[in-house]
Amino acid sequence: MSIPNEALQKLLQEIEARAISSQQQIGVTKAQITAKQKNIRLLELTSKEIGSLSKDTKVYEGVGKMFVGVPMDTVDKRLASEKTELKTDIESLEKKLNYLEMTHKNSRENLEQILKSGGRA
């Protein structure tokens, strides 16, 4: 028994739309991972620079349009917590990326399988 042409065409369009959507989301997710990795490198560099300063050095943080003196320990803790948060975000984005890549692969395989079978069920 074969699938009617209209149903086959609709099925192919749905699978192709899913594949395209997955491919677009893969690009966005990869860009997000790259941006978060860049932020981690910046935090590590900042932490390294602050670590090389003496403990009595005055440290300031930007608050709006002004700078406020902050204890160095507070800055270190903030940098460490931001780094941990970014690493957690990257792990979840990598899981999402893995899922999207699998979805894209499955969509392509389904599409090829339907085209090879010639629309037979």
pLDDT single digits (tens) 65-104: 999 999 998 999 999 999 999 999 999 999 999 999 999 9
* 60: phi then psi, degrees, rounded to nearest 5: -125, 145
Residue 121, pLDDT > 60, answer no
First CA to last CA distance, the chain: 6
Across 8-29, average pLDDT: 89
> How far is the C-alpha of 16 from the C-alpha of 33, rounded, in Å?
26
Check: CB of residue 8 under 8 Å from CB of residue 114. yes
- Largest separation between any pair of C-alpha atoms in the chain: 82
pLDDT, position 1: 45
Of all residues in the chain, the percent with pLDDT exceeding 70 is 93
pLDDT, position 30: 96
Q: Which of 15-19, 63-67, 70-74, 117-121 has the lowest mean pLDDT?
A: 117-121
Check: CB of residue 47 under 8 Å from CB of residue 79. yes
Across 25-36, average pLDDT: 96
Q: Which residues contact 90 (CB under 8 A, 6 or more apart)?
A: 33, 36, 37, 40
pLDDT, position 57: 87
